[in-house]
Structure 1
Amino acid sequence: MLWSFQGIKAQNTSTMENQEAVKAITNAIENYYFKGIYEGDEMLLGSILQPGTFLFGDVKNQPYFKTVDLYLDGVKNRQSPKDSGKPFKGEIIDIRVVNSIAVAELNVKMYDFNYRDFLSFHKINGQWLIVNKMLTDVSNN
């Protein structure tokens, strides 16, 4: 019985840690990722993107690839969704955490697009940072 009890205790600790991780990742997505995209604030957005991050996917059935620097430059130099007057909605669909890594699935409606994003996170020096972004335009689906 003792082994079973110890296993349960460890599992509860892990669950509590996962809940804290999900909370921290949710905060990063809502207050840095969504807000940075919406306001066109490349500094805010860049603060949760690990240097060297790559972005892959497709937009209107065309392959999409950018480095984090090219992506942030694009955010900086385009009209922000906030200034465009068009609707913007960011939604967290799912967050899965295993130890120091996590994947978040998001839906982002902006301009005339409806993106499905998959963000890979890694906890680095106590902070959850995006280390990879995959996206696809699901507007026509």
Structure 2
Amino acid sequence: MAAHEEVLKLIDDYFTGVYTGNTGLLQSLFDPHAQVFGEVNGLHHHKPISVYLEGVAARKSPKELNEPFRMKTLGIDVMGDIASARLYSPMLGFEYCLYLTLAHREAGWQIVNKTYAAPLLAI
């Protein structure tokens, strides 16, 4: 499988894990030292992946809440053993825009950084 397809497969697995709340699947996709940075409603967040996964485990998943699956990939770039993906993930009352940075390791592609924002929306 070409790198581009491998990255797309990882993103599909990421969406599945987030949508269903499958922290085991998500943990397998992230480097154990990955960091998560974000901004929601003007508040900044920074946490290691372990804390992010604890939050996913503690909440009801979008699937449990009967939310429609509307997540999509907006673009990816693969350059040798690094890649980035720009994603759209509307869920849990937010319109998340996010970037994943990936690195290819001996075991395959892993997410090494997640950066996201849920901008304030004018109502």
Q: TM-score, structure 1 length as denominator?
A: 0.82
Give the conservation status (yes or no) of the 8 Å contact 1:87–1:109.
no
Residue 29 (1) aligns with residue 11 (2): yes
Residue 102 (1) aligns with residue 83 (2): yes
Richer in strand (by share): 2
CA RMSD of aligned residues (A): 1.5
Q: Which has the higher contact order (CA 8 A, sep 6+)?
A: 2
Runs of 4+ in 1 over 3 A off after TM superposition: none
Q: Which runs of 5+ in 1 are unaligned?
A: 1-18
Structure 1 residue 37 displacement after superposition: 0.5
Secondary structure (helix, strand or coil) at the match of 1:107 reads strand
Distance 1:116 1:88 in 2: 15
Question: For residue 73 of structure 2, what is the aligned residue in structure 1?
Answer: 92
- The residue identity in structure 2 corresponding to 1:51 is P
Secondary structure (helix, strand or coil) at the match of 1:79 reads coil
Q: TM-score, structure 2 length as denominator?
A: 0.93
* Paired-residue identity, %: 33
Deviations 1:65-120 (A, max 9, x none): 11100001111111011001223321101100111000000000101111111000
Number of aligned positions between the proteins: 122
Larger radius of gyration: 1
Richer in helix (by share): 1
Question: For residue 103 of structure 2, what is the aligned residue in structure 1?
Answer: 122
